[in-house]
Structure 1
C-alpha cells in the first residue's frame, strides 16, 4: 500500500505540474478566442491522457510482477492458489481497503479495519515449514512402499514367466525329437514314392519316344511314296501334252493356219525386197 500510495502521489504531482505549466506558458493574455481555448484544452487533454495511461499501465504491470513472485513461492511449496476476479470489483471490499489505507497512514496505533472484517488465510498446518516437509516425506515413503510392492509383484510374474518358458523349451525339444523320427520315416517313404514316380516317367518317356520313331518312319515312307506319285503324274502330264500337241498338229485347222502363215511370211519377204530395191533406185 505504501508503494502504491507513493507512486500515485508522484503521478498526481505530474498531472498538477501539467496544469501549472499550462497556466504559466499559455494563460498570459486577458482574452482568448474559442479556437484558442479549444487548442489549449486539447493539448492539456493529450498530456493528462498520456500521464494517466502511463500510471494505469505501470500499476497493472506492477501487480503482475507481485503476483508472479507469490505464485513462484506457492509453486515451490506445491500450493494450489485460487483467485476470484469478481472480488476485485466488490465495492464493499474496495471501501474497506480505502478505510484501511486511511487508518494505516493517519495513525499507526489504530487497528486496521480490514483485519477486523476480512479473515486472514488459514495456515497450512500448525508446524509450519517443517510439518509440510514431513508430510511430503510421508507421501514419498508411501509411494516408495507402493513401488516396492509393485516391484515384488513384477518379480514374481517374471519368475513365473521364466518357469513357463523353460517348460515350453523342454516341450519344444521333445516335439522336435519326435518330429525328427517322423521326418526320417516320411523321407524314406517320400524317396520310395519319388523313385517309383521317376521310373514311371522314364517308361512313359520311352513309350512316347518309340511312338514318335514309328510315326517318323511312317511319315518318311509316305513322303517317299508321295514323291514317286508326283514324278509319275508329272511324266504323265508331259506325255499328255506331247500327245495333245501332236494331235493338234494333225488337225485341218492347224494345217490351214500353217499354210496361211507361210504365205504371209513370203508376202512380207517380197514386200521387204521391193522396198529395198526402191530405196536403191532413189
Structure 2
C-alpha cells in the first residue's frame, strides 16, 4: 500500500480529508454533467440547427459550466485555508511556527505519489469494509505537546521539593544560631557579674576581660550569621512561592488539556 511518510494518526487525518475532497469533487462533476444534460433536454429538440443556434447553445453552456467550476475552485481554496488555519492554530498553542513550501504543490513526483495513495486507499478491492465508519481518534495526552507539559510539571515539582528541603535546613540553622546567641548573651552577663563582685582580683579581672572580648566577638559573629541566614530564608521563601505558582499554572493547563480532550467525541 502507498504511504505518505506520516505516522498512523496523521495518515488517518489525510485519508479523512481526501474522503471529503472526493465527495466535493463528485458533486462538482455531477453538476457539470447536469449542465450538459439540461442542454440536451431543453435545447436539442430539433433535428437541425443553424450555426448561430449551435454557437448560442455552446456559449450558454460555457457560461454555466464556467460559473460552476469557478465557484467550486473558489470554495476549494477557502476550504484549504480553513484546514491550514486549524493546523496553525494547534501549532501556535505550543509556540510552534509551521512552514509551507508552495513549490512542492506542483511537484509531479509528489502528486503522483498522492494519486497512488488515493488509488490504494479508495479502490473498492483494497478498501477496508469499516473504513467509512472509523473516525480517527485524538493522540493520547502523553504524546506530543502534552508530554512536554507533563515533563514541565514534573520538573517544577522536583524543584519545589528541593526548595522546601533547603528552606527546612535554613530554618534549622537560623534557630540554632538564635539559641547560640541567647547562650552567649547569658554567659556574658554572668561574667560581668563575676567581674563586678571580684574587682580586687587583678588576675581574674584580666581573665574576665579576655573572656568578655572573646564572647563579644563570638556574639557578633553569631549575630552576622543569623542575619545572613534570615536573608537567605526570605530569598528561599520567595523562590518557593514563585515555583509553587508556576507549578499551579502548569497543573491547571494540564487539567484544561485533559478536560478539552475528554469533551471531544
Q: Which band: TM-score by shorter chain? A: 0.3 to 0.5
Q: Which has the higher contact order (CA 8 A, sep 6+)?
A: 2
Q: Report the TM-score, using the length of structure 2 for normalisation.
A: 0.44
* Structure ranking higher in helix proportion: 1
